[in-house]
Chains A and B, each alone.
Chain A
Amino acid sequence: MGIVHAKDLSESSKYQATKTIPKVNINYEECEETKELELNVPARVDKIHVEGLGRTKNDIVEDALKDIFTANTFQEVLHKTHTARQKLNSLSLFRNVSVHIDVSKGSKATKDGLEVTFQVKELKRVVGGVNTQIGNNNEGSLVVGLKAPNVFGRGERLQTEYSYGSRRSNNYSVNFIKPFMGKRNPVFTAGVYQHTSEWPSSGYKQLERGGLLDFGFNSHHLLKHNLQYDACIRDMGVISRNSSFDVREQSGSTLKSALRHILTIDLRDEPIFPSCGSLLQLTSEFAGVGGDVGFLKNDFYLQANYSLMEDFVLQGTLSGGFMHEIGDEKKINLCDMYYLGGPLSLRGFKTRGVGPQSDGDALGSLCYFSGGLHLYTPLPFRPGKGGFGELFRTHLFVNAGNVADTKSEDVVEQLKNNLRVSSGIGVAIRLGQMARVEINYCFPHKFEQDDRVQEGIQFGVGVQFV
């Protein structure tokens, strides 16, 4: 068997929105025979071998690989093989997938025929791990998890997790995830969870226990939908004797039974420091299908990035939410309200620092918006360029936001009056693939008398920032 080395003759044929095939360094002295093939040579795949299957069922593997047979040129073969390999990896069936393409041999071989061999190594029955995770409430946590991947052979997995957060929160969750075959990547998740958390800025602590059913799919390869049903029993209590009476009045147990739809369109080139593209996320939640909590919530998050010149990125973000009450019998609890303030939503203000409060405890609002204009630049003098320095960005920003009460008239008027504005400069540091840390020096410019302002250094950690 020889090694196939392909030379890309046509520079202009680069597929958009997909990554190029990674280049591999090949030592030519070790090859028995080298042959140069042009990429546009007509080729077709005669056979696909898959070695190493154990408990994985054949149909799901066939479904991922069947597209390869439609290739007509060599470049298409390479490209589709790469896509198939990515799909197999994403199904969490295997630990390792390696591909081997060779000229087709044997009695049934055609003139331009190729044989593709996938060598796969299945995942162990039970996999465990300890990692760290960043949550979106300015909290880092330690996660201990146990996963049983590929339980029935079609990519189903059962995972249990326990996490302990920096804000003394404890989470337990057990989830069962089943991906389905099909072009639209449908995935079904069912899980139960228990989550304790404390909110000193609002004076309460809560224990949530419930179950979640989630059905996710792509209606278009860029549009992801998630349909969820969430039933949760929340036990709320005051955090100390000094909590305000308004918070104490909401102590007790409530049952929230809600339907949720999340729409995500992510056109960015990368999630943490994107240089182009935009992200839109729309969430609608209707609570009131049973239980004693009822509301209709709509929120959105929009982010647009524009590259000014190399490594200088201008980013605009806008986030907002609007909540309706439903009838008199169902109530809205403190833990359902919108809170504005903090390094993730409005820099320059303490967490939950903007909005109505009682005795120093934030009570939340029914409507809010928050926007920002950011300029990301590499660190001055570019230390560690190409390596360590790429984890950092200097960050100049202007944030503005406001809250409103939807029960009274004219929400837009309320949002226009008493606008809160802040600006500042800081450093943003990438953490892994999903999160970042920000250390900013903030200057709040416009705020109300009751707001809790954070002038000076503010530290934030999270996944989604405004």
Chain B
Amino acid sequence: MTSKSLSDLPPVGVIGSGNFGTTVANLLARHRNVFLYVRDENTIEHILSKREIRGHKLNKHITPINDLAELARQCDIIFPIVPSAHFREMMRKLSPYLHPYHVLIHGSKGLDISLPKGQTLETVTKLSRLQVKTMSEVIREESVVVRVGCLAGPNLSKELSARQPAATVIASPFNEVISIGKRLLRSDRFQVYGNNELIGVELAGVLKNIIAIAAGALNGMGYGENARGLLISRGVVEIIHLGRALGGKTKAFLGVAGIGDLVATCNSPLSRNFQVGYKLAQGMKPEEIFESMDEVAEGVNTVRIMKKCADFYKVRAPITSTLYKVLFEDLTVKEALDYLMRYPLNIDIDFID
């Protein structure tokens, strides 16, 4: 892991210079030279002169570039970490340069939707798995790459940057991809677990954002730990029901990427999803909240998508559908909470045989 051996090893690519993207680039740069794809020329100038981006210091082994063809030519292993809303578009640009020997491990916690012409997420009434895809499915659809994986787990960028102890999950049907991920990311402060349930792990990372908004709302109402304990445990049940309807396996939701990530996000006022919930409870209008944030909170779109999926697959998802009403149908957080507390739920666990 010394800088001497670094130049002998092939470099690794990271696409996306957001918070998580730069954090991952820094983690990788301890083991390999890293090419970081940055869209904007000016940002590259900035990085080259200051060695930092939006407050993140950049490791000296990171080279910013803005040429996807060059990135794909230099790196067999690429970590695409861009918001889910831009993911497909990015894949379309990258795809011509990819070959079946490439390995892609993404770190985006969101869903991709393809709607029929003329429809928007607001107007469409039903959503099923034909329209809703995970990022690994987008990679498979848009490119010839088959060795695909994802990064998931409680990975709050600020804590990782501060070298606090943490863990992540690399999920992939290919053991090869998992061991590549372990080799490239593992350090004395960062544990890496492997999981073969790619779709389940991706969904766990996506669905926990819904519960994170709810956790923020409870916090904004001034409620304490009992309420949060209730939310997290019921949240796990809801995530599993929704996740299974979309093709995930139960065990993916119980590990680091599921419960681990859920607990971390629900206890983290730092997270954007938590912030959305918190501000809602404070009485801010959803539109005002969206405008005030620089990066999108994935959870808002997730709520919108999952509400419609839950209807299509006839899954009981009280937290999601109530949040939907708060975000898009003018229900207040207080009314929502009253409704949920009266909801006739009385089975604790019904997903384990």
Tell me if chain B binds chain A: no
A residues contacting B by CB (< 8 A) are none
B residues contacting A by CB (< 8 A) are none
